[in-house]
């Protein structure tokens, strides 16, 4: 401090001015630091490295008397420096040129190895640059080059702030890279999760398909077991029914209509017919019987069954029909399809003892491969969909799993055979169709029956012919049957219709008779299941003797027809036992008239 008072005053004034200027500079730097510290809440909000640099460049610009600044980031793949932001943009070329010169002079390398900002001379005599490496603990993330205004320098307080901002910028660049890697890792984990979920979904789907196939196998085995049993007894059982039925018919012919025995005999006859239907149902659900293949108008079948139901169901049950007028024709047997409708309807009625709604609906559907994959046993292509719904008591899951089992019933003893839905299942399967059932306790039941359709074909209307009384003839008929009682019944019936009859008990005897009297025999009525040669072999030999021979096949097991037409075996007609004598006479006369 000077000793002279005047000089002391001047010195004090200069010192105060310096301190005021330093204080002002410090306050400005602190204010810049404060405003420069307003960073984004999360580095994860940056999308690219350029976004980070553009966010930090204005903050660095406010720290000193820079006329221009440039910020570089290091490329993750090539490790090259890329200029990401320049302020002002018009100085980009100058900044790039200076960066190239500083690199060649080794100043950039020197700055990258140092911890503090480095000051270097510019290309102009008065140009000065500040170089700051932006580094994290792992590696260099970027670089700052700021060109000071002419004659300006950075205050001592500003340099640490520049270092802090540089480190923050480097941290943000590193965080951005970590966020990018984290997103890639998360995406990889998400992809693996989706793959695992897909594999799990496929596994569960495969298990479900396995369970469905196992259930179908069990059902098929049940049907096969009962089918073998049914096929084995059907012939003998129907032969017994035929013997009873034939004898009753012959007795009824000798009784006047007002005779007291007629009522009892007709009652027995009705019981025989019900027994025959029971055997037929056994054969149907076990798929041991054939069926006719013709175009069937499903709407007409539904309307026919509806007329029957309107006369028989309780009045508190409402019948609703929703039939698509453009329904395609189904390919199948109209009699068996009617049986399906009746069985489903009867079950629905039984499920609504207090009344409700019975609905029958028809639609056209095309089953695609995805439906077939999800419903094993179904087939792709055009189908007619029959939906039968009731608002009855419904079924629980346990009951639902057994509804197609033979002899399974929830009805009281004497009110159900357990063959209704089993026969429906067999008929649908025999037609190449598919059946589904949906039911919940207290919410009713819905059956969906898919029947294969001929989408583009039309059904020709057939003129209904009135039933005619069969007439007889005087031709000679050869009856071939190993059952003496049935042989005698058929002989007596044919003789009553005026025919001359010759009888044989086996195929060998029939061939011997035909060789002797073939010219006079107009028709052969032959059973198939006989000891020895059997009906098929006998028919083959007869056709060798005379390809035009008239043969009517009769059998106690309709499975012998294998769902084929009689002509496929060389026969002219087929009759399934038990049959009415008038049906036998009508069939015989029809074949003879065609031959004539």
For residues 175 and 143, is the Cβ–Cβ distance under 8 A?
Answer: no
CB 499 within 8 A of CB 591: no
Measure the CA–CA gap between 182 and 568, rounded to whole angstroms.
Answer: 74
Closest alpha carbon to 72 in 178, 171, 170: 170
Same domain, 311 and 445: yes
Q: What SS3 class is residue 462? A: coil
Q: What pLDDT, on the 0 to 100 scale, is given for residue 580?
A: 82
What distance in Å separates the CA atoms of residue 577 and residue 486, rounded to the nearest whole number? 10
Tally of helices (H runs) and strands (E runs) in the chain: 15, 17
In 3D, which of 1, 558, 582 has the Cα closest to residue 288? 558
Cross-strand pairs, 480? 504, 526
Q: Both tokens of residue 71? A: 């910020």
Question: Do 443 and 524 have their domain in common?
Answer: no
Q: Tell me, what's the pLDDT at 361? A: 93
Is 366 in the same domain as 421?
yes
Listed residues 181, 210, 235: the one ending a domain: 181
Read off the CATH number of the domain in which 528 is found. 3.40.50.2300
The CATH number of residue 382's host domain is: 3.30.565.10
| Number of domains, the chain | 4
Among residues 326, 435, 330, 453, the alpha carbon closest in space to that of 382 is found at 453
In a domain, 513, yes or no: yes
Q: Please name every residue paired with 525 in a beta bridge, in sequence order, or none if there are none.
A: 479, 552
Instruction: Report helix angle 534-545 to 507-517, nearest 10.
Output: 20
* End residue of a domain, out of 150, 181, 212: 181
Q: Domain range holding 58? A: 35-181
Beta partners for residue 144, in sequence order: 71, 132
- The distance from CA 412 to its chain's CA centroid, rounded to whole angstroms, is 37
253 in a domain, yes or no?
no
For 99, counting Cβ atoms within 10 Å of its Cβ (0-12 exposed, 13-18 middle, 19+ buried), the class is buried
Query: What are the tokens at 102?
Result: 């500083």
The answer to whether residues 15 and 45 belong to one domain is no
DSSP code of residue 343? H
Is residue 259, in this structure, part of any structural domain at all? no
- The pTM of the full predicted model, rounded to 2 decimals, is 0.44
Task: Report the C-alpha gap between 291 and 189 in whole angstroms.
Answer: 58
Interacting residues of 10 by C-beta distance below 8 A, sequence separation 6+: 2
* pLDDT computed for residue 165 by the predictor: 83
Boundary (domain end) residue, out of 148, 181, 214: 181
Q: Are residues 396 and 432 in the same domain?
A: yes
Could you identify the residue written with the tokens 């079948």?
301
Instruction: CATH number of the domain at 69, please.
Output: 3.30.450.40
Is position 138 within any domain?
yes
Instruction: State the sign of the Cα–Cα–Cα–Cα dihedral 110, 111, 115, 118.
Output: positive
* Cα–Cα dist 538/535, whole Å: 5
Which tokens in the block code for residue 126?
């008065």
Crossing angle for the helix pair 158-253 and 484-496, nearest 10 degrees? 70
**44 in Cβ contact with 175 (< 8 Å):** yes
For residues 171 and 315, membership in a common domain is answered with no
**CA–CA gap between residue 147 and residue 144 (Å, rounded):** 10
**What pLDDT sits at residue 365?**
92
368 and 398 both lie in a single domain = yes
What does the DSSP assignment read for 205-222? HHHHHHHHHHHHHHHHHH
User: Could you tell me how far CA 2 lies from the centroid of its own chain?
Assistant: 104
Q: Is residue 195 part of a domain?
A: no
Q: What is the 3-state secondary structure (H, E, C) of 491-524?
A: HHHHHHCCCEEEEECCHHHHHHHHHHHCCCEEEE
Same domain, 424 and 495: no
Is 229 part of a structural domain of the chain?
no
> 143: helix, coil or strand?
strand
Residues 28 and 58 in one domain: no
458 occurs within a structural domain: no
Residues 303 and 440 in one domain: yes
Beta pairing partners, 305: none
Residues 57 and 11 occupy one common structural domain? no
pLDDT score for 6 = 60
Instruction: Give the contacts of 544 (CB within 8 A, at least 6 positions apart).
Output: none
- Please check whether residues 438 and 358 belong to one and the same domain: yes
How many CA within 13 A on the CB side of residue 35? 12
Contact 108, 99 (CB under 8 A): yes
Whether residue 467 lies inside any domain: the answer is no
Residue stretches of the chain with pLDDT short of 70 = 1-9, 11-45, 64-65, 154-157, 216, 219-235, 274, 277-292, 406-420, 455-470, 556-568, 596
């Amino acid at each position: 401090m000077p000793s002279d008072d005047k000089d002391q005053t001047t010195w004090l004034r200069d010192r105060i001015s310096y301190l005021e200027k330093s204080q002002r500079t410090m306050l400005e730097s602190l204010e810049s630091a404060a405003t420069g510290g307003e960073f984004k809440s999360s580095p994860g909000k940056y999308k690219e490295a350029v976004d980070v640099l553009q966010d930090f460049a204005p903050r660095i610009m406010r720290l000193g008397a820079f006329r221009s600044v440039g910020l570089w980031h290091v490329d993750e793949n090539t490790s090259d420096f890329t200029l990401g932001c320049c302020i002002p943009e018009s100085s980009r070329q100058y900044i790039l040129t200076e960066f190239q010169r500083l690199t060649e002079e080794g100043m950039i390398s020197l700055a990258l190895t140092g911890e503090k900002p480095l000051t270097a001379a510019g290309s102009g005599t008065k140009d000065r640059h500040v170089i700051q490496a932006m580094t994290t603990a792992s590696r260099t993330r970027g670089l700052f080059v700021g060109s000071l205004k002419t004659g300006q320098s950075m205050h001592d307080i500003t340099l640490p702030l520049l270092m802090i901002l540089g480190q923050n910028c480097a941290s943000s660049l590193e965080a951005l890279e970590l966020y990018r890697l984290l997103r890639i890792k998360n995406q990889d984990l998400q992809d693996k999760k989706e793959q695992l979920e897909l594999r799990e979904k496929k596994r569960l789907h495969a298990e479900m398909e396995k369970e469905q196939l196992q259930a179908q196998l069990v059902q098929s085995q049940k049907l096969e077991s009962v089918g073998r049993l049914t096929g084995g007894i059907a012939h003998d059982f129907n032969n017994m029914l035929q013997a009873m039925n034939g004898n009753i018919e012959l007795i009824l012919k000798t009784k006047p209509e007002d005779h007291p025995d007629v009522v009892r005999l007709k009652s027995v006859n009705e019981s025989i017919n019900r027994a025959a239907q029971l055997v037929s149902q056994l054969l149907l659900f076990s798929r041991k019987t054939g069926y006719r293949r013709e175009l069937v108008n499903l709407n007409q079948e539904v309307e026919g069954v509806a007329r029957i139901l309107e006369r028989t169901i309780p009045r508190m049950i409402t019948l609703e029909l929703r039939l698509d007028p453009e329904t395609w024709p189904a390919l199948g047997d109209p009699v068996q399809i009617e049986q399906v409708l009746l069985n489903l309807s009867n079950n629905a009625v039984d499920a609504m003892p207090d009344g409700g709604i019975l609905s029958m609906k028809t639609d056209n559907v095309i089953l695609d491969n995805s439906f077939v994959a999800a419903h094993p046993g179904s087939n792709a292509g055009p189908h007619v969909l029959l939906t039968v719904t009731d608002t009855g008591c419904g079924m629980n899951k346990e009951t639902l799993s057994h509804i197609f089992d033979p002899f399974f019933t929830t009805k009281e003893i004497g009110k159900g055979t357990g063959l209704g839905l089993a026969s429906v299942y067999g008929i649908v399967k025999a037609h190449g169709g598919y059946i589904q059932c949906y039911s919940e306790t207290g919410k009713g039941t819905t059956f969906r029956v898919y029947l294969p359709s001929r989408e583009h074909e039309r059904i020709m209307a057939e003129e209904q012919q009135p039933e005619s009384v069969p007439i007889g003839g005087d031709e000679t008929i050869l009856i071939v049957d190993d059952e003496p009682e049935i042989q005698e019944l058929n002989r007596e019936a044919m003789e009553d219709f005026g025919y001359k009859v010759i009888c044989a008990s086996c195929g060998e005897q029939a061939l011997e008779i035909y060789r002797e009297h073939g010219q006079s025999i107009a028709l052969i009525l032959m059973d198939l299941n006989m000891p020895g040669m059997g009906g098929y072999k006998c028919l083959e030999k007869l056709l060798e003797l005379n390809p035009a021979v008239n043969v009517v096949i009769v059998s106690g097991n309709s499975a012998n027809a294998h769902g084929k037409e009689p002509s496929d075996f060389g026969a002219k007609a087929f009759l399934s036992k038990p049959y009415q004598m008038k049906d036998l006479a009508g069939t015989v006369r029809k074949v003879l008239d065609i031959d004539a």
